[in-house]
Amino acid sequence: GYKGVVLVNILLDETRNWAKKNNLIPPRKPNQTLPWYCQSLIFRPSQRKFHAPRENNVEIVKISAPILVALNKPLINILDQVSEMHGEIPHLRMCNRIFELMEQHLESAISALVDEPNAFLTLNEFPKLILYDRLRDFNITEEPFFRSMLRSAALVGLHRLVDKMQIRIPASQGRMAFGVVDETGLLQYGQIFFQYTTNASLKYPSQHADRIIHTGPVMITKNPSVVAGDVRMFEAVDLPCLYDLVDVVVFPQSGPRPHPDEMAGSDLDGSDLDGDEYSIFWDPQLFLEKNEPAFDFTSTAKNNAPGNDEEVKANFTELMAKFFKIYVSQDSIGTIANAHLANSDLYGINSEHCRNIALKHNQAVDFSKSGTVPDELTKNWEGGIPPEKVERFPNFMCKGSQASYKSNRLLGDLYVRVMEVREVIRVEEIASTDEKVKIDESVLLEGDAIYEAKAQAAYDEYRTLIGSICESYGIANEGQLFSSRFTALKKRISEKDDDNMSLFNTAHMIEQQLATIYARFRT
């Protein structure tokens, strides 16, 4: 029942080799605990999450690797409001930089519509039904079918930007990484060590890959970031004894409060670094002037997990199924997170009202570990205090028919800008449907009229089958279908289908059906 980050420590190998050289390693016996100097894998007591039958296999969920980082709605909300607290000039600098980054993101999303090289790069990201490399002599950005595919990709990119406001940070100015603790004890409070692989496209960097040890000010946060104190400034330092650690951020073990616990902390395990990923930024234009006080997440929640080893062993499957049922029925993290974001836009991130919601959000995050259901959001006005359940949403939360208003904060302005660009592309899409396609005479052959009836019959059958897929899944057009870029789908396998990294998701099923039809008419 252990969960946590396994960290490379060369001293373990050196100590074990020394013990082996001096014949200090005892003969191995079943279930025997070896002396510390013989062990090659060591866990902390805090990493034990639950009691379970003994298991000798270790399951690795994820390894450290170069990961790009992006801003998101809650983080932008914090940067906007906290920089405003620090003064007009810091706030203006922050807003200008985030707008600049978003413009770069927008340009990247729509460049394939106007730039041939980018168009070919985008086409090669689509399912490989068509041999795009053989189309170099065609003007892809003007050919109606391929342009519809490129337009679908651009619209989906903008849709995701509106939905999550995930604005990419350049690989040279920010990364995501696992957090680990400094086993040497040399890092001081307020310091971190961060070494990253230069090439962010390498999924499994070799030991010889180029690396950079970052030094100087850095801004760090972890998801979910909710309150003003969740985004913090640190000083990155160079420590040769930590050079073996790459693509992880190393925190000190000393100080009045663990740094990981200061950021979206938890009274249950906020400080044991059990697999949390941290967003690290070193773009000076995004820096805060100072750290806001870390939020006190301490709650009265008690751990309701059974603590008797024998009881758990006897009823492990039953207990797991029972809790999973409760967890699925009571999971409310998303609802509470939305309530906090909407209320902070109206009343301010440091208002007592939002601080109370932040505590409930923390209860929801801890629910899977504590077993304690978070308190419900209040629904009525009481003594001049507004309800925590959202009455009306800011425009950037895209709540459709629900009551909403135009936000005057940074997120509201970003939303308006993205919607302007999206509307231009949609107008162009509507206009393109009325365009008469000009036949390329270079593909016409003398005497092909005798095959016209056959070709028309095959095309009608093809259109019927393609139309059936589009109708079944709510796909707008053939361009969306062939690009596999969908803004919305019917018959999803799950609501979180977009985040499903397995092969068994709706988009994959659609691709399989399309491939079958395409192969049939190609042969």
pLDDT in tens, 444-463: 888 888 888 998 999 999 99
Binning pLDDT at 50, 70 and 90, where does residue 367 land?
confident
Buried b (16+ CB within 10 A) or exposed e, 428-438: ebeeeeeeeee
Q: Kindly list the distances between the CA atom of residue 81 and the CA atoms of 78, 86, 149, 227, 410, in Å, as whole numbers in the listed order.
A: 5, 9, 39, 10, 9
Between residues 134 and 242, the one the model is more confident about: 242
Q: What mean pLDDT, rounded, does the chain reach?
A: 86
- Which 8-state DSSP code applies to residue 386? P
Q: What is the mean pLDDT of residues 495-506?
A: 49
pLDDT for residue 198? 96
Q: Checking DSSP bridges between strand 248-251 and strand 174-181, what pairing results, if any? A: parallel
Total-model pTM: 0.83
Q: What is the mean pLDDT of residues 225-234?
A: 95
Residues 339, 341, 342, 343, CA torsion sign = positive
Mention every residue, 6+ apart, whose C-beta is less than 8 A from residue 336: 357, 360, 361, 364, 374, 377
Helix H, strand E, coil C: the string for 196-222 is EECCCCCCCCCCCCCEEEECEEEEEEE
Alpha-carbon distance of 87 to 410, in angstroms, equals 15
* Strand, helix or coil for residue 502: coil
List the beta strands (DSSP E) in 114-190. Answer: 167-168, 174-181
Alpha-carbon distance of 179 to 109, in angstroms, equals 31
pLDDT for residue 311? 66
Out of 244-248, 331-335, 384-388, pick the least confident. Answer: 331-335
pLDDT for residue 238? 97
> pLDDT of 54-98, one tens digit each?
777 888 888 999 999 999 999 999 999 999 999 999 999 999 999
pLDDT for residue 47? 80
pLDDT for residue 197? 96
The domain ranges of the chain are 1-61, 174-286, 314-391, 445-522
* Cis amide prior to 224 (ω within 30 degrees): yes
| CATH class of the 174-286 domain in this structure | mainly beta
Between residues 468 and 3, the one the model is more confident about: 468
Binning pLDDT at 50, 70 and 90, where does residue 499 land?
very low
Binning pLDDT at 50, 70 and 90, where does residue 491 land?
low
Q: What is the mean pLDDT of residues 263-272?
A: 55
Burial class of residue 415, CB neighbours in 10 A (0-12, 13-18, 19+): buried
Tokens of 9: 């420590």
